[in-house]
A and B are shown apart, each in its own frame.
Chain A
Amino acid sequence: MAKYDYVPSPFMANSIVKWVDHRLPIFTLIDEQLVKYPAPRNLNYLWNFGSLAGIMLVVMILSGIFLAMNYNPSTAGAFDSVERIMRDVNYGWLIRYIHMNGASMFFIVVYIHILRGLYYGSYKYPREILWWLGIVIFLLMMATAFMGYVLPWGQMSFWGATVITNLFSAFPIVGEHIVLWLWGGFSVDNPTLNRFFALHYLMPFVIAGVVLLHLWALHVHGSNNPLGIDAKGPQDKIPFHPYYTVKDAFGLAVFFIIFAYFVFFSPYTLGHPDNWIEANPLVTPPHIVPEWYFLPFYAVLRAVPDKLGGVLLMFGSIAILFLLPWLDTSRVRSARFRPAYRVFFWLFVICCLALGWAGAMPAEGVPLLVGQVATVWYFLHFLVFLPLLGWFERPLPLPASIAEPVLGGGKAGMVAATKPMEKA
């Protein structure tokens, strides 16, 4: 791919910058990866969600560090210390609500980011490892969120922890030992809370590390785009800065408006009321539900009456994502040119929502049935529909280049070629 001409910024010409850069090329790195990094010119606002997720990780780490300064990880003191943060610590309520609602925001952003990848086929060649790393991040996020939810030591914290750790007892022979090992005792108790706190503090930094790998993999071949075709030449790309920095910044501001609405005006709608009751190991709440972002997986877990089967199915629902690049046999990436896949994509979204709804309901009657049907659909989507679609679907004709549809036919392509993105 030909490099387009780039006007160097005066910053890079500064003598101190040059001195540092000669020894540690950090400015060159930033310049190449964030400033002049060539991005497809046609990215839509759905491509904002990657950077939004990155920002949310930073928001969560920062607010979490300040919460940890006032948190007491013991069964006797955890609930009161969180209430102290809410009542006595200066701006403690603000920091806690940012962290609490931030978790939900982080998951919304990541789910949209994943769905965008599914819709536009971003997991296909040559981005398979990029996709894997994304799933690893998602798994780490789920572990982190789960352990974080235990820390306030409310009723849902305790019973959520009990139920989820008990999943591992489903495995024959080793199961019981794994559970005892996870707990560090004979039930979810002080040692469990202590280690969950330690790990909850550690995991975000592990996530940050995998995020760097994710970005590295991304920057090898660059972003996919709504057309799903590779960039043919410099006329298809524009430098990341200022075009996408400003677009990301605008998207971030809009996202923060929604985030702020929850933090300031509706801080507990996304949580469960029972978690404002201190944990009581002798009284189980009538209806244990995880936080909303786990509901679809919870529905898969409960879809099978068999304990081990449910656990395997739940882990399988995520594991199957690793195989997705090979299960989807179509060579066309974007759903824009795949009329049949587009239908199945939206059916898949509905399937996930149905799972979420079923997960929130008691596992009986209609919700259970819906959960079971949706679970079957979920696996059929990956194991049957996607492989078959690749063979039977007739994709629409693809445009010749990214620049073509926006600039018009071949003539416009000529116009683009005269643009300064190319060598003068």
Chain B
Amino acid sequence: MRTAKLLIASVLAFGLGLGAASAAEAPKPPAQKWAHTGFFGTFDRAELQRGFQVYKEVCAACHAMHQIRYRNLAGIGLSEAEIAAIAKEYEVTDGPNDEGEMFQRPARASDRFKSPFPNQQAARAANGGAYPPDLSLIAKNRVGGENYVYALLTGYKETPPAGVTLMDGMYYNDWFAGHQIGMAPPLSDDRVTYADGTKATLAQQARDVSVFLAWAASPHLEARNSLGVKVMIFLIILAGLLYATKRKVWRDIKH
């Protein structure tokens, strides 16, 4: 018993140490209900596709997604033909050709998402010095992940609270660290028109694109969950079997 207590105490102790590590300065965004959280979580394909539409028609004007390639869109439920059609809308630089020149060609499924700016400096210059961050991993590299994305997109205030003076070209946002954000409110009701007839409220669009970005950051989440459940069941049975063996082996040993 003493051993068990000691063990639990040590584990707890280290657990507490961890909790402290994730302290952050920005306010912690409230957790939303998502279909993809929990042991059996899966993404809603329709939601992902709507979210991709929001990214493509709104966010992509300034934000790159360097880690994502057009072929990855198979993961949100698009067919090969649909992916090829989307890729063809973009021109990418390739080369050098036999004359040694770089040339433009329509993108292929194997290409990365085309970035809105050729490099970080250009992105900064075009956005008043504020670099629009790459969104491929935004749901992993912000405290709160997709909850943060949703909170940020829906957290703009037209008039800042009393006592706060905004700098020129800045906007007030409840969830951004320091509350002054260079990005103008990107979404508004009916900013996009959904093909599936879903009403494009601001909240709906924010939600859809948050799910899309969560997928982009963890495209293997579904595979991970389903394998994880199997592994856990396997390990629990194995531990049970080993416990029975241990009991059996030790039964005549007083200790």
Contact B242 A46 (CB under 8 A): no
Q: Tell me the minimal C-beta distance from B226 to chain A in angstroms.
A: 9
Contact A295 B67 (CB under 8 A): no
Query: Which residue in B18, B177, B243 is a CB contact (below 8 Å) of A250?
Result: B243
Residue of B nearest to A412 (CB): B254
Give B118-158 interface residues, CB cut-off 8 Å to A. Answer: 133, 136-137, 140-143, 145
A356 at interface, CB cutoff 8 A:
yes
Contact B227 A264 (CB under 8 A): yes
| Interface size grouping (class) on chain A | 35 or more
Contact A276 to B228, CB < 8 A, known contacts A46-B6, A46-B7, A260-B235:
no
Contact B242 A292 (CB under 8 A): no
Complex formed: what's the CA distance from A358 to B91 in Å?
52
Q: Tell me the minimal C-beta distance from A406 to chain B in angstroms.
A: 5
Stretch at the interface among B9-17, B165-173, B185-193, B196-204: B9-17
Most chain-A Cβ atoms within 10 A of its Cβ — which of B6, B22, B236?
B6
Residue of A nearest to B3 (CB): A44
Contact A360 B137 (CB under 8 A): no
Q: List, in ascending order, chain A residues with CB within 8 A of B255's CB.
A: 41-42, 406
Contact A108 B14 (CB under 8 A): yes
Contact A264 B20 (CB under 8 A): no
Q: List, in ascending order, chain B residues with CB within 8 A of A226's CB.
A: 3
Query: Which residue in B67, B228, B242, B243 is a CB contact (below 8 Å) of A87?
Result: B67
Q: List, in ascending order, chain A residues with CB within 8 A of B238's CB.
A: 253
Contact B224 A246 (CB under 8 A): no
Task: List, sorted by A's number, 27 A–B pairs whose CB atoms are closer than 8 Å.
Answer: A41-B254, A42-B255, A44-B3, A45-B3, A87-B219, A97-B224, A115-B10, A119-B6, A242-B249, A243-B249, A243-B253, A246-B245, A249-B245, A256-B235, A257-B232, A257-B236, A264-B224, A264-B225, A264-B228, A269-B22, A272-B22, A276-B141, A349-B9, A357-B20, A360-B23, A361-B20, A406-B255
B220 at interface, CB cutoff 8 A:
yes
In the A-B complex, the 3 residue pairs with the closest CB atoms: A264-B228, A276-B141, A356-B17
Complex formed: what's the CA distance from A80 to B14 in Å?
32
Contact A264 B232 (CB under 8 A): yes
Contact A270 to B18, CB < 8 A, known contacts A94-B227, A242-B249, A264-B227:
yes
Complex formed: what's the CA distance from A226 to B6 in Å?
12
Q: List, in ascending order, chain B residues with CB within 8 A of A45's CB.
A: 3-4, 7
Contact B72 A87 (CB under 8 A): yes
Main secondary structure of the interface of B (DSSP, over half): helix
Most chain-A Cβ atoms within 10 A of its Cβ — which of B14, B23, B227?
B14
Q: Tell me the minimal C-beta distance from B88 to chain A in angstroms.
A: 22
Complex formed: what's the CA distance from A254 to B137 in Å?
33
B31 at interface, CB cutoff 8 A:
no
B58 at interface, CB cutoff 8 A:
no
B226-254 interface bits toward A, Cβ cutoff 8 Å, 1 = contact, 0 = none:
01110110011011001101100110011
Query: Which residue in B4, B10, B17, B231 is a CB contact (below 8 Å) of A260?
Result: B231
Query: Which residue in A83, A112, A253, A292 is a CB contact (below 8 Å) of B21?
Result: A292
A4 at interface, CB cutoff 8 A:
no
B25 at interface, CB cutoff 8 A:
yes
Residue of B nearest to A406 (CB): B254
A393 at interface, CB cutoff 8 A:
no
Complex formed: what's the CA distance from A407 to B249 in Å?
18
Contact B72 A243 (CB under 8 A): no
Q: Tell me the minimal C-beta distance from B250 to chain A in angstroms.
A: 6
Contact A249 B231 (CB under 8 A): no
Q: Chain B residues in contact with chain A, CB under 8 A?
A: 2-4, 6-7, 9-11, 13-14, 16-18, 20-25, 39, 66-67, 72, 133, 136-137, 140-143, 145, 177, 217, 219-220, 223-225, 227-229, 231-232, 235-236, 238-239, 242-243, 245-246, 249-250, 253-255
Contact A249 B242 (CB under 8 A): yes
Number of A-B contacts (CB under 8 A): 141
Q: List, in ascending order, chain A residues with CB within 8 A of B228's CB.
A: 260, 263-265
A313 at interface, CB cutoff 8 A:
no
Q: List, in ascending order, chain B residues with CB within 8 A of A268's CB.
A: 140
Contact A46 B3 (CB under 8 A): yes
Contact B224 A349 (CB under 8 A): no
A348-367 interface bits toward B, Cβ cutoff 8 Å, 1 = contact, 0 = none:
01001100110011000000
Q: List, in ascending order, chain A residues with CB within 8 A of B245's CB.
A: 246, 249-250
Contact A277 to B141, CB < 8 A, known contacts A45-B3, A108-B14, A119-B6:
yes
Complex formed: what's the CA distance from A275 to B141 in Å?
7
Contact A292 to B232, CB < 8 A, known contacts A249-B242, A257-B239:
no
Q: List, in ascending order, chain A residues with CB within 8 A of B254's CB.
A: 41, 406-407
Contact A238 B253 (CB under 8 A): yes
Q: List, in ascending order, chain B residues with CB within 8 A of A269's CB.
A: 18, 22
Q: List, in ascending order, chain A residues with CB within 8 A of B223's CB.
A: 93
A111 at interface, CB cutoff 8 A:
yes
Query: Which residue in A41, A249, A254, A274 is a CB contact (below 8 Å) of B253?
Result: A41
A289 at interface, CB cutoff 8 A:
yes
Contact B20 A111 (CB under 8 A): no
Q: Tell me the minimal C-beta distance from A21 to chain B in angstroms.
A: 27
Query: Which residue in B10, B67, B137 is a CB contact (below 8 Å) of A112?
Result: B10
Q: Tell me the minimal C-beta distance from A366 to chain B in angstroms.
A: 13
Residue of A nearest to B250 (CB): A243
Residue of A nearest to B229 (CB): A264
Contact B235 A295 (CB under 8 A): no
Complex formed: what's the CA distance from A272 to B22 in Å?
7
Contact A261 B232 (CB under 8 A): yes
Contact A265 B225 (CB under 8 A): yes
Q: List, in ascending order, chain B residues with CB within 8 A of A305's CB.
A: none
A214 at interface, CB cutoff 8 A:
no
Contact B142 A273 (CB under 8 A): yes
Complex formed: what's the CA distance from A289 to B234 in Å?
36
Q: Tell me the minimal C-beta distance from A399 to chain B in angstroms.
A: 14
Q: Tell me the minimal C-beta distance from B71 to chain A in angstroms.
A: 10
